[in-house]
Amino acid sequence: MKKRFRKFVLFLIVAVMLMLPKACAFSIGVDVKDKTLSFLRDVLDLDLSKYMIKLSDYFVEYPDEVIKNLREDVTYSLEGANSQIRASCLFINKSMIYCRMYAEQGAPTYVRAQGNIINRVRNILERYRDWSGDGSLNEMLEMLTLVEPRKNMTVVVGTWRFTFKTTPEFTDFSWLYVLNGVTYPNCLGVSFVGNNVYFLDERKLYTIGSADVKTSKDDAVAIALKYVENYSFEIFMGDQPSIVVDDFGVVKEKITAELLSWPREEYTLYPYWKVDLPLDKLYPGNIYEICVNIWADTGEVFRCVPLGFGGSLPTQDSQPEQTTNSQENTLEWTSTPVVVFLIVFAIATSALIIHKWKKPLSHHLKQRHNPPSQPVSD
């Protein structure tokens, strides 16, 4: 009898332990659920008294050996007499990273008249400053005085690259952090598409591991050319025999190199050179170019991949293909709400991508590199 009782007690202990994560998830979720409604009311100025509010979804992802940060997603459905709204917010370590307020039907009911688009953004940022207690937003507010309605512009003030872009479809305000000529994705953005509002604040999400650019553009090109002297890739063509390409020509006068940033560790950014080496002809697999990524602070090659029509051939250990133009395309990260959420998706997968670099190469493509007899240096 005692033995059965001990087993029963043990069962209860295990059952309670299994329930703890759920209880913890609920207690953690209460905070961000309230913060979501508070943001809608106190920052976006939505009149919550006019809506029936329902929590549609709450998801929590706890830190592990790959994802080091607590992630929480909250979604509310709001139904009013004149509109139906769906609002979603992402929180990382309790800080709000983005909020999307999507009008599924009708126009949102606000507490106050919203005014013209520039004043509307100014009011949102002022309320966000008070809501978050972030006085650094005053710097962004001052840049709004430079905006002329219906006139697109990009200006660098201090360490921020401010872009205003308006089209018949959307209007976007975005601020990107710039240091030593490198644009980092520490971004603040507000976008409007019709009655929909998109808000993004990644300024505190990323840290800069290094802003040192010790490798010049010319040195980066030289390192890339030296690296591909011993580089080869193997193309697999279904049931056909594979093809190894180890003899290719580079059109040196068409080489381009751009300074970008990428996480070396999760959410810790470092500058790197993206060197594109155009090939002299089309090679098997429709390969027309080789892209070499080099850390600008160390001169180390950390990625080399052949590019073909439609992008690089899939490999399990490669990061997503970078943009072609560091400045223009970086600014376009927040020029449409669709791309804003691609950034959020990149946040969700960046750590996993870094982790996957360690895995075996895909069966579609194998890349080889035989180290040169002398070490590559900058």
State residue 352's pLDDT score.
Answer: 33
Identify the pLDDT of residue 54: 97
Confidence of residue 6 (pLDDT cuts 50, 70, 90): low
DSSP 148: -
Output the pLDDT for position 66.
58
Could you give the CA distance from residue 148 to residue 167 in angstroms, rounded to a whole number? 14
- pLDDT over threshold 50, residue 239: yes
If phi > 0 it is left, if psi is from -120 to 50 it is alpha, else beta; for residue 86 that is beta
d(Cα 173, Cα 165) in Å, to the nearest integer? 7
Q: Is this structure's pTM higher than 0.75?
A: no
Q: Specify the pLDDT at position 309.
A: 79
- Note the pLDDT of residue 68: 72
Give the model's pLDDT for residue 1: 52
Q: Where does residue 40 rank: exposed (0-12), middle (13-18), buried (19+ CB within 10 A)?
A: buried
Average pLDDT over residues 171-183: 92
Q: Other C-beta atoms within 10 Å of 39: how many? A: 23
Q: What is the pLDDT of residues 276-331, one digit of tens each?
A: 999 999 999 899 999 999 999 999 999 999 998 754 444 434 444 433 333 333 32
**pLDDT at residue 360 is higher than 90:** no
For residue 350, give both structure tokens: 């960046």
Q: Among all chains, which residue has been given the structure tokens 């400045």? A: 327
Question: 48-91, pLDDT tens digit by residue?
Answer: 999 999 999 999 998 766 567 899 999 999 999 999 999 999 99
Task: Work out the pLDDT band at 39, boundaries 50, 70, 90.
Answer: very high
Does the pLDDT value for residue 116 go beyond 80? yes
Give percent above pLDDT 70 in the chain: 73
